[in-house]
Structure 1
Amino acid sequence: MSVASMLEDASTFWIPTPMAQALANRVEAWVRCGHTGGLIIGEARLGKTKAVKALQHQLKNRSGQPIRVLYTHYGLRDVETIRAVFAKVARALDFEVKRKTADVLLENIVIRLADAAQANDTRQVVLIVDEAQLLTIAQLNAFAEIYNDLVNLHINCSVFFIANQDQFHTLGKALLRAENRYLRERFFNNFDYFYGIRSEEELKACLHEYDSLIVSEASSICATEYFCPTLYHQGWRLANIAPLYWRHYRERYGIPLGLNSWGMAQFTRATNLLFMDYLPGCNDKTDQVLMEACVIKSLEGAGIAPSLVSLVGASG
């Protein structure tokens, strides 16, 4: 794979961010305190999914032993039955699901999670459920059943649900009903918001990850040196552009569009354009006019402004 392809492959490219680290710290604290569940909620396209997938190699108990993290997600096409929930989870755990009853699927899931919990002396395992706003109360009962069976095996399972804020209202209201208190207290007493980039400091930290990203192990060349060799050898780093970059994002998009934070999908798109297409043409680190033009063009190409609104009008 070429270096450009590595950055352009949106399905796999990921850099550590302050927001992802904050999420990891929060979830690890919940798990260490023995909480059985929690809700991570945020707007769409902020980077929630990749941040939670990164947890698969990060969580540890207080003794420094790894806590396995298993991941599944839901979609609008999924059938709204208990068996469908078990089938989805079982498939995510690499089980064959055809012609299996709900009871057999549940047994498969419990055995796999129990095995995963043997990685640490505290017998802990984490299950991440993405796109949770698409679930129903009945489907949440399936996770309660998984949890109960694991308790009977003396396994400590924490189930964390990831949801889009814009679509969670219906499920959230249902969870507040008295008859659903057991689900609320088991899985939803804890919640935290996930944000995109909200400050120049966070932006600089993300840009620094590009400066640290090794793209050629043979020669230890980082991404900045690879794409902008002239600027790099003048002592310039991509993180240096953070004040200029943040100002133009805020003035042109963040404030006018009322955005609470800058989502990672749009940030990555803009930064890849800046890094691979525009900044390589800049040969003087003191040429602020040219760098400013590069930033503006990159932001324009990132699709931050909702162009569909101009076609059909704003909703509601």
Structure 2
Amino acid sequence: MEIRPVLGKREHPVYDNDYSINTGAIIALFNDVSRWIDNQSPGGIIYGKPRLGKTKAIACITKLLRKEYNPDLPIFQLNMTFHKLNEKRFYEQFLNDIGNAFAAKGTTFEKKERLINYLLNSAREANSKKIILFIDEANYLEEKEYSWLMDIYNRLMINGIHMTTLLVGTSEVLVAKQVFIKHKLQQLVGRFMVQEHHFHGVREVKDLQICLVSYDSLLKYPLGSEWTYTRYFFPEAYRNGYRLANDAELIFDCFEKFNQELNLTGKLDIPMQYIILAINICLKDYGADKACLDRPGLKEWKASIVNAGYLQAERTNLQIEKS
């Protein structure tokens, strides 16, 4: 029998949540985004509830796009905040986010030119006619910032480079789209908001099964070994045929019952953040590193979901909605 690897304390990626998985929602998003790129759409909106895993999805989609199109495909991410930005600070933040070492130097015009040249050079070095720009927390964008982005888009187009801008945020981005339509700002809508994708969490047992299968067969550590995450934390049960995916219905039922306790109505849509946290907690607390249970049961999954903060977060959301 193969001996379980000896790792340093907290070395396993589960301890720092330092890994990613391709969920059904991520694959659906990738299919839409790749179609937008193929059709040379200038932009689209990716929206969903908070904590669904949209930010982490950007990293997953980036890997999939580079695998599909070009390993060096220029893909950048701009992270918006609620802070108001003037034009100079906007270009500086953009340069910072894409890794330019001289972001703080120069006038507004110099920063803008440096940014555009950086984007152009990135495309040329990758032998690409495409640039993909994700804007996370896009609900914080204002009309003036869209106009600055449009200038960048136009300059790139003049130089033969097509930029697809993907606005990632909450449904507030859709509200902004309707405001722009109402005020006849078709140029902004046409540049950035033509396409829409509703990003969701785990809605059905099969969604959860897809997620859990990654732990059973795809995610492995140490790298290059055959020690899947499930096998590493529950080695004896794994040897006897146990897989986390076996518990998909049980885990989903736990979330449903918690929602009923909170009097939450409507279709279940579990944020990936709490799914991943609950799985991490279950592996760490009840697996071979700590409690050494053969396998988790109902009690352990319920405790893991509670400790992941799901109930507290949903209670807070209810308070906000009622206030």
Q: Tell me the alpha carbon deviations over residues 81-117 of structure 1, each in whole angstroms, 9 at most, x when there is no partner.
A: 2222211111112222224222212212212222232
Q: Which residue of the partner structure matches residue 293 of structure 2? A: 282
CA change 1:103–1:31 in 2 (3 A) is same
CA change 1:236–1:272 in 2 (3 A) is same
User: How many Å apart are 1:140 and its aligned residue?
Assistant: 0.8
User: How many Å apart are 1:223 and its aligned residue?
Assistant: 1.1
**1:236-275 equivalence runs, <5 A:** 236-253=242-259, 256-258=263-265, 260-275=268-283
User: How many Å apart are 1:177 and its aligned residue?
Assistant: 2.9
**Structure 1: tracts of 5 or more residues without a match:** none
What's the % identity of the aligned pairs? 22
Q: Which residue of the partner structure matches residue 147 of structure 1? A: 153
User: SS where residue 192 of structure 1 aligns?
Assistant: strand
Question: Is contact 2:15-2:284 (8 Å) kept?
Answer: no
Distance 1:269 1:275 in 2: 10
User: SS where residue 164 of structure 2 aligns?
Assistant: strand
CA change 1:187–1:313 in 2 (3 A) is closer
TM-score (norm 2): 0.86
Q: Which residue of the partner structure matches residue 164 of structure 1? A: 170
User: SS where residue 65 of structure 2 aligns?
Assistant: coil
Q: Which residue of the partner structure matches residue 8 of structure 1? A: 15
1:207 and 2:220 correspond: no
- Residues paired across the two proteins, number: 307
TM-score (norm 1): 0.87
User: How many Å apart are 1:271 and its aligned residue?
Assistant: 1.0
Q: Tell me the alpha carbon deviations over residues 200-233 of structure 1, each in whole angstroms, 9 at most, x when there is no partner.
A: 1110111111113111136431111111111111
**Structure 2: tracts of 5 or more residues without a match:** 1-7
Q: Which residue of the partner structure matches residue 36 of structure 1? A: 42
Q: Which residue of the partner structure matches residue 87 of structure 1? A: 92
AA partner of residue 48 (structure 1): K
1:188 and 2:193 correspond: yes
Question: Is contact 1:65-1:119 (8 Å) kept?
Answer: no
Distance 1:143 1:295 in 2: 46
**1:119-158 equivalence runs, <5 A:** 123-158=129-164
1:299 and 2:314 correspond: no
CA change 1:121–1:5 in 2 (3 A) is closer
AA partner of residue 8 (structure 1): Y
AA partner of residue 274 (structure 2): Q
